[in-house]
Amino acid sequence: MRSNVSEYEFIAPGSLDAVLALLSAEPGAWTPMAGGTELMVALGAGRLEQRKLVSLWGIGELRGITASADWLTIGAGATYTDIRENAAIAKEFPLLARSASWTGAIANQNRGTLGGNIVNASPAADSPPVLLVYEAEIELVSAQGARRMNYSEFHLGYKRTVLRPQELVMAVHLPRGHRLPVEYLRKVGTRNAMAISKVALAGVGAMQSGKVQTVRIAAASLRETPARLSMTEAVLVGHALTSDRIQAARKALLQEVKPIDDVRSTAKYRAHVAANLLEEFLNQMAASES
Amino acid sequence: MRDATPTRIVGTPALRKEGFGKVTGGARYIDDIVLLGMWHGATVRSSIARGAIKDIRFGAGINWDEFVIVTAKDIPGANCIPLIVDNDQPVLADARVNHPEEPVVLLAHPDKARLHEAVEAVEIDYDPLPAVFTIEESERQQTIVWGEDNVIKRFLVEKGDVDSAWQHAAHIVSGEYRTGAQEQLYIENNGVIAEWSDADGLIIRGSMQCPYYVHKALLRVFDLPAEKVRVIQAETGGAFGGKEDYPSLIAAHAGLLALKAGRPVKIIYDREEDLAATTKRHPSRTRYRTAVDKDGHLLAMDIQVDLDGGAYATVSPTVLSRATIHSAGPYLCENIRVRSHAWATNVPPHGAFRGFGSPQTIFGIERHMDQIAKAVGISPEEVRRRNFLAQGNATATGQLIRDPIDLRGMMDRALKVSDYHAKRARFARENATSSAIKHGMGIASFMHGAGFTGSGERYLNSLVGLEADASGHLTVLVSSTEFGQGTNTMLSQVVAEALGLSCEDVSIAQPDTNRVPNSGPTVASRTTMIVGRLVHDAALALAGILREKNLLSEEFSADEFRAACAAYTAQFGALRSEARYQPPKDIFWDDAKYQGDAYPAFAWAVYVAEVAVDTRTYAAEVVNFYTVQEVGRVMNPVLAAGQIEGGVAQGVGYALYEKVVWKDGRMSNNQMTNYIIPTAADVPNIEVYFEEMPCEHGPYGAKGLGELPHDGPAPAILNAIQDAAGISFTSIPLLPEDIFLRMAEAPEPECLEIVGSAKGPQ
């Protein structure tokens, strides 16, 4: 432990209203903490700059997973374990259950939350690519009210989001009844478990009469934020998946990603492997109609 | 004492002596121990690789009066941890620092939480000096950082006439191979507690392998007589060599703080500090130039071994020795020359890690054998078969193999249990036509010498003791430590077997230099063979004492033994026997020429790796791993298999995952999230097969086996990758990013020179 915990303040008001009131009263002073799987690591390493922490753990309004006719709503406080064990997610949004199973260890999955994964805004996070291809919406809440937007508009830049200091992520909404026949998700980490992704690619799509009718592709660790690869999608929609078309898609991907060299991998490797994963996904697409 | 007679307890899966405590949380590790009035210590370390210390300043914002502060000036004795070389690593850097993370100032405070901020507030000013960070920079000798030539230690081994052999060669095959640093990554970080009193002197409790190494080091640092230093091993959560020499340094630090504070001081490293500051496996570069005839027989081997020793000598001379002796592999060759060097660099000293130099050179020779096979046009298994050592042959150091060995039989078994031929044929077919995933099979055959090298055991002169109380319960007195490998269980089995008792009748005394004799360090695969044998001798001696007093007959039951102990203690008091190491009469070693019997015995092995290389992610994964080994008598099949499985897992990490990223001599990925070791999801199915050829030197025919399994996996895995992908990789760790560079981009020429005609050595 490289921090002196006596220098930190940690409170647990216990209800959503009380937390939101606190955030509004002193905007920016308090950092919300749900499972703590990110912040506690920073605390242990002596690099947690935020000294005032407010707990979201145990606030029931944030944690439920509920279904309406059109939406499956996952509370921001739902843990990876909650997501892995939910029958509706397993049936209708299986990529999300899979990505949740890849995050950390069982202990991390019991504490870590979907909202935390999103707000932490790591470009390498496991959940966001899946939320992007499922066209999720995100609901933000403050004492002043709520707002809802496409999740694709949430991330602004490296570790920057639209979230205001007095706001919390309330829930993620997934549109029901639009499941596409081909779903793809692959994470390339530094090892098979307990790993941060070097590159990850999620894809969903449908073919019609030998051509790409719909396709959505998103990636982790390829840009400064989790990212939809819309240029690549545009190259594909309406076209047959010939080898030339697949090569064109690879090129488009390489143009729109901006990977970096870091302690886990190299930019070249990330870009090349992402293109390989794209090709693997497109081969699945091509085979889906036969 | 070649002994294949049936046994009751030796050879059975006796339960771990300390297992219940570990599983139920009862085991007390050093950080579980709290002494009355204890303070906590922390270390201020150098931030540069090399330079003169100009000034040490204690910054504002801290009430320094609350702290105890120790610098080199506070050391009562010598500012040095002497292990092999005198005037070696200092306890605290004084005028100059020679590597990043070198200890300079020690702080103690009653509140552990206050220490981190205080460490950060100590400012050290330097005049930086040029530094070297690699073998290449060191051997260039433009910047001298050690002695006159940067050479910590060199060896020359010569057998036959290497220079005349090249003209007879059908093929000359050369290759260069490299291995990286590797962290031991014991689960429990390093830690000690020191207590000082004028009456008793210094008492050290800690996580360690070698209590008497710590004892010896502290006598000089504190200038104390032997009876004024007491070292006690606490329960130790893994070591793998990483707690062979470093605990002496931490013990000295805690001791200095305790002496100045006048109260107990505990120092526990966190993972980041442990990774950045303590020892790792020596990085290596080996170069092989070999002459072979048209059938693949080795005619000559000219071998260069170079290790990166780090900033101080510490154990590098002996690591280099073992690397040198193992560099020719388990092969017969009449003409061998090995030239080896340990080079000084300005990185934290590299140290002991399971295998101790042999994984480095066995990686070289076993990768090289596959290149010879390719050059000659025979299979990897055949080139090995044709060159295997056999009984009556002489090794590189001229050691005659007296014990029976059957490497060919082990090769047959390894190929059979791995279904090698059928799989290889199938993979060749499938790899050519299809699939993104290429499969391959690779072999490594190797040996590992048990016990200290050369005359080491003579110098150690180990002593063990055995005590019996009136109820006939026995206590083994050794300084050999348990750190997960099974020492306590194995020694209990030996005593129980020898005296007709059960393991429950035997306890192992906590290693405490006030109570146990010096049975040597717990290293070098020596504990079972050397110490186990001495404990066996002590058990027989104890029965002998009872017989001398006519209390025990030649044959006896457990009850008769207990009755005899009761009668003896009632009449004569304490019942205790001892046994001291007796050098075998037919073992000779010449330290000057580096010739003779390097080890009393070798364990032998043939390993087969089955890998899958994914051409989309460039990741190599080990799918199955087959191990066949001959380790003498297997004392405890469960613990022995566990040693093999664990060693293979570490070997998989060494080959494919574990990369120390260096930045100006400092490990920059000193967190477990970025220093990647394999998880259970990355470790292959491991199959373990033992051949048992009882050895005369160990108890009940046992040899050493602890280090052996780390030697073979890396070359077997890279050989299998060559089989799968058709690319010869020569360097580990081999990460997907490295495979990508060769597979996806323009192929580089292979690091291999094949010459058909005669050519002299370079």
Is the distance from CB of B91 to CB of B77 less than 8 angstroms?
no
d(CA B86, CA B356): 21
- Nearest-neighbour CA in chain A from B448: distance (Å): 30
Are A137 and A41 part of one and the same domain?
no
Nearest CA in chain A to B736: A269
Residue-level pLDDT at B758:
36
Cβ neighbours of residue B30 closer than 8 Å, sequence gap 6 or more: B188, B191, B192, B193, B205, B206, B207, B234, B235, B266, B268
Nearest CA in chain B to A266: B737
- Would the CB atoms of A1 and B270 count as touching at under 8 Å? yes
The answer on pLDDT for A170 being more than 70 is: yes
d(CA A216, CA A199): 17
Residue-level pLDDT at B749:
40
Q: What is the ipTM of this complex?
A: 0.96
Residue-level pLDDT at A290:
66
* Four-residue CA torsion sign, B424, B298, B285, B591: positive
* Four-residue CA torsion sign, B475, B477, B479, B480: negative
Bridge partners for A22 per DSSP = none
Is the distance from CB of B219 to CB of B226 less than 8 angstroms?
yes
Nearest CA in chain A to B618: A273
pLDDT digits over A101-159, tens only? Answer: 999 999 999 999 999 999 999 999 999 999 999 999 999 999 999 999 999 999 999 99
- Record the tokens describing residue B683, joined without a space: 């470790």
Q: How does strand B229-233 pair with strand B201-206?
A: parallel
- Would the CB atoms of B617 and A4 count as touching at under 8 Å? no
Are A190 and A283 part of one and the same domain?
yes
Q: How confident is the model at residue B85 (pLDDT cuts 50, 70, 90)?
A: confident
- Would the CB atoms of A4 and B619 count as touching at under 8 Å? no
Query: For chain B, what percent of residues have pLDDT higher than 90?
Result: 94
CATH code of residue A101: 3.30.465.10
Nearest CA in chain A to B272: A45
Which of chain A's residues have a Cβ under 8 Å away from the Cβ of B112? Answer: 1
Q: How confident is the model at residue B294 (pLDDT cuts 50, 70, 90)?
A: very high
Residue-level pLDDT at B475:
98
Are A72 and A161 part of one and the same domain?
yes
Nearest CA in chain A to B670: A263
Residue-level pLDDT at B84:
82
Are A78 and A160 part of one and the same domain?
yes
Residue-level pLDDT at B569:
98
User: Tokens 């693997």 appear where?
Assistant: A280
Count of pairs with CB atoms under 8 A, one residue in A, one in B:
68
CATH code of residue A254: 3.30.390.50
Question: Best residue in B275, B737, B741 to probe A by mutation, most A CBs within 10 Å?
Answer: B737
Residue-level pLDDT at A44:
93
Are A111 and A199 part of one and the same domain?
no
Averaged pLDDT for residues A272-276: 98
Are A190 and A279 part of one and the same domain?
yes
pLDDT digits over A214-252, tens only? Answer: 999 999 999 999 999 999 999 999 999 999 999 999 999
Which residue among A46, A188, A190 sits closest to B676, beta carbon to beta carbon? A190
d(CA A163, CA B139): 56
First-to-last alpha carbon distance for chain A, in angstroms, is 57
Among A55, A74, A97, residue at a domain's last position: A55
- Dihedral pair phi/psi, residue B157, rounded to 5°: -115, 130
The answer on pLDDT for A201 being more than 50 is: yes
d(CA B49, CA B90): 15
* Contact B586/A at CB under 8 A: no
Which of chain A's residues have a Cβ under 8 Å away from the Cβ of B673? Answer: 196
- Nearest-neighbour CA in chain B from A15: distance (Å): 32
Q: How does strand B122-128 pair with strand B51-58?
A: antiparallel
Which residue among B113, B657, B668 sits closest to A191, beta carbon to beta carbon? B657
Residue-level pLDDT at B710:
98
Residue-level pLDDT at B665:
98
- Nearest-neighbour CA in chain A from B206: distance (Å): 20
Are A163 and A193 part of one and the same domain?
no
Which residue among B114, B272, B617 sits closest to A188, beta carbon to beta carbon? B617
* Contact B507/A at CB under 8 A: no
Number of domains in chain A: 3
Which of chain A's residues have a Cβ under 8 Å away from the Cβ of B437? Answer: none
pLDDT digits over A19-28, tens only? Answer: 999 999 999 9
**A20-29 — which CB contacts under 8 Å span 24+ positions?**
A20/A141, A20/A142, A20/A143, A20/A166, A20/A168, A21/A143, A22/A54, A23/A54, A23/A142, A23/A143, A23/A165, A23/A166, A23/A167, A23/A168, A24/A142, A24/A143, A24/A144, A24/A166, A27/A164, A27/A165, A27/A166, A28/A165
Q: How confident is the model at residue B82 (pLDDT cuts 50, 70, 90)?
A: confident
* Contact B434/A at CB under 8 A: no
CATH code of residue A38: 3.30.43
d(CA A98, CA A96): 5
Among A116, A142, A175, residue at a domain's last position: A175
Which of chain B's residues have a Cβ under 8 Å away from the Cβ of A279? Answer: 616
Q: How confident is the model at residue B751 (pLDDT cuts 50, 70, 90)?
A: very low
The answer on pLDDT for B35 being more than 60 is: yes
Are A134 and A235 part of one and the same domain?
no
Which of chain A's residues have a Cβ under 8 Å away from the Cβ of B619? Answer: 188
User: Which residue range(s) make up the domain with A155?
Assistant: 60-175
The answer on pLDDT for B757 being more than 60 is: no
Which residue among B270, B436, B616 sits closest to A273, beta carbon to beta carbon? B616
d(CA B102, CA B94): 10
Averaged pLDDT for residues B109-122: 97
Residue-level pLDDT at B756:
39
The answer on pLDDT for B384 being more than 90 is: yes
pLDDT digits over B210-247, tens only? Answer: 999 999 999 999 999 999 999 999 999 999 999 999 99
Residue-level pLDDT at B760:
35
The closest of B333, B282, B346, B332 to B102, measured between CA atoms, is B346
Residue-level pLDDT at B745:
67
Are A72 and A162 part of one and the same domain?
yes
Residue-level pLDDT at B617:
97
Residue-level pLDDT at A264:
92
* Contact B661/A at CB under 8 A: yes
Averaged pLDDT for residues B102-131: 97
Which of chain B's residues have a Cβ under 8 Å away from the Cβ of A6? Answer: 113
Are A50 and A72 part of one and the same domain?
no
Nearest CA in chain B to A199: B617
Cα distances (Å, whole numbers) of residue A246 to A78, A205, A241, B691: 38, 15, 6, 54
Q: How confident is the model at residue B4 (pLDDT cuts 50, 70, 90)?
A: low
Among A156, A175, A194, residue at a domain's last position: A175
Mean pLDDT, rounded, of chain B: 95
Query: For chain A, what percent of residues have pLDDT higher than 90?
Result: 99
- Nearest-neighbour CA in chain A from B92: distance (Å): 22
Are A73 and A165 part of one and the same domain?
yes
Averaged pLDDT for residues A175-201: 96
Is the distance from CB of B477 to CB of B205 less than 8 angstroms?
no
Mean pLDDT, rounded, of chain A: 97
Are A87 and A155 part of one and the same domain?
yes
Beta-strand ranges (E) seen in B495-618 are 506-508, 575-580, 589-590, 595-596, 601-614
pLDDT digits over B319-377, tens only? Answer: 999 999 999 999 999 999 999 999 999 999 999 999 999 999 999 999 999 999 999 99
Bridge partners for B456 per DSSP = none
Domains of chain B: 33-129+185-277 (3.30.365.10), 284-453+592-755 (3.30.365.10), 462-580 (3.30.365.10)
d(CA A198, CA A189): 5
